[in-house]
């Protein structure tokens, strides 16, 4: 595989000066797109890169790493920190899937459960503030054309609910009445159209690389789309992914000051549930991919268990949506 990659790069992008690919090592992280650490010998010396490749099937279908490459490429120099990308391969034949190459970014990756945050409240506040500042910066950056647009003729909310419905139909191994019901209720409570911005879709600490107190790279743009900023805000309320690092309280006020976008509680309730449903669909996609023999990554069993165990939490988000929409009316 390393040899084929080297041959392809010398043929297609001779300006990279690749003499040989020394090693190609699959990253143990990442359950959606396949990530590889690449060590190459170039005319300028030894370099380390990262390769992101589409799997044959997985939890975030339909995959489009070429769109992801174009989004990242368009954001270079925008002020939104992204890795530098070098090359995108649209032909799946050489390596078994479409892929793109980007720089390896040195730095620290946090998760909200890191013990350091229990010991250092000042660091915790700084990280939380930087998290909000980056989200605001991204939402105020002109959206690249490569972003996935809403379905034709639909508002962003309508489009996202329709995509959820379609995805459930694709992955449902047995009828899932709870998910069907929740998606039906989402259809009933789609809010008025809001502003359209870059929606990252997976904006969390574990997708950020930090160095010297700053975010130097925002990763994993595979779910990025053109949509409502409250999508990313609502996503931050999933405590098992974000913990304390959410766009709430004084940090919601900071976000509004930086963007001019109000964190309206009524509209936000819809996006909290919508983003949670998307997360559940990722979990439910895992057993589907395994059962159909489309993916053999055994780590997907843990994703399956998490998705199934979290399903009842959707009713809590739904209750909040109905209360906000109807002012506590009988339901």
Please choose, from the candidates 73, 260, 229, 210, the residue with its C-alpha nearest in 3D space to the C-alpha of residue 138: 229
pLDDT tens digit string along 67-112? 999 999 999 999 999 999 999 999 999 999 999 999 999 999 999 9
pLDDT tens digit string along 266-286? 999 999 999 999 999 988 888
Beta-carbon contacts of 227 under 8 Å, excluding residues fewer than 6 positions away, are 150, 156, 160, 196, 197, 199
> Is the domain 116-326 a CATH 3.60.21.10 member?
no
Instruction: Find the radius of gyration of the CA atoms of the chain.
Output: 20
Mark the ranges of the chain whose per-residue pLDDT is less than 50: 329-331
What secondary structure letter does DSSP report for 53? E
Tell me the three-class secondary structure of 194-260, residue by residue: CCCEEECCCCCHHHEEEECCEEEEECCCCCCEEECCHHHHHHCCCHHHHCCCCCCCHHHHHHHHHHC
Q: Where are the domains of the chain?
A: 2-103, 116-326
Give the pLDDT score at 43: 93
The length of the chain is: 331
Give the pLDDT score at 214: 94
Q: What is the pTM of this model?
A: 0.93
Give the pLDDT score at 331: 41
Give the Cα separation of 8 and 12 in Å (integer). Answer: 6
Q: Which CATH class is domain 2-103?
A: alpha beta
Give the pLDDT score at 330: 42
């Amino acid at each position: 595989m390393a040899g084929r990659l080297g041959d392809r790069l010398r043929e297609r992008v001779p300006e990279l000066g690749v003499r040989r690919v020394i090693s190609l090592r699959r990253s143990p992280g990442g359950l959606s797109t396949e990530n590889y650490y690449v060590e190459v010998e170039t005319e300028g010396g030894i370099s380390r890169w990262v390769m992101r490749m589409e799997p044959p099937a997985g939890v975030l279908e339909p995959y489009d790493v070429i769109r992801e490459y174009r989004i990242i490429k368009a954001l270079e120099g925008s002020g939104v920190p992204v890795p530098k990308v070098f090359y995108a391969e649209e032909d799946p034949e050489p390596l078994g899937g479409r892929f793109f190459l980007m720089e390896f970014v040195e730095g620290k990756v946090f998760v909200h459960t890191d013990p350091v945050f229990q010991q250092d409240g000042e660091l915790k506040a700084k990280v939380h503030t930087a998290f909000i500042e980056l989200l605001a910066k991204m939402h105020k950056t002109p959206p690249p054309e490569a972003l996935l647009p809403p379905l034709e003729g639909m508002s962003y909310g309508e489009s996202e609910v329709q995509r959820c419905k379609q995805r459930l139909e694709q992955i449902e191994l047995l009828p899932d009445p709870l998910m069907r019901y929740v998606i039906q209720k989402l259809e009933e409570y789609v809010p008025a159209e809001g502003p359209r911005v870059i929606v990252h879709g997976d904006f969390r600490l574990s997708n950020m690389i930090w160095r010297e107190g700053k975010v130097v790279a925002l990763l994993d743009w595979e779910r990025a789309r053109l949509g409502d900023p409250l999508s990313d805000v609502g996503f931050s309320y999933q405590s098992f992914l974000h913990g304390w690092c959410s766009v709430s309280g004084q940090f919601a006020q900071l976000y509004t000051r930086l963007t001019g976008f109000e964190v309206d509680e009524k509209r936000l309730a819809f996006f909290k549930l919508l983003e949670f449903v998307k997360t559940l669909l990722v979990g439910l996609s895992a057993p589907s991919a395994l059962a159909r023999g489309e993916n053999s990554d055994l780590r997907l069993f843990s994703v399956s268990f998490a998705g199934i165990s979290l399903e009842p939490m959707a009713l809590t988000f739904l209750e909040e949506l109905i209360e906000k929409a109807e002012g506590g009316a009988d339901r």
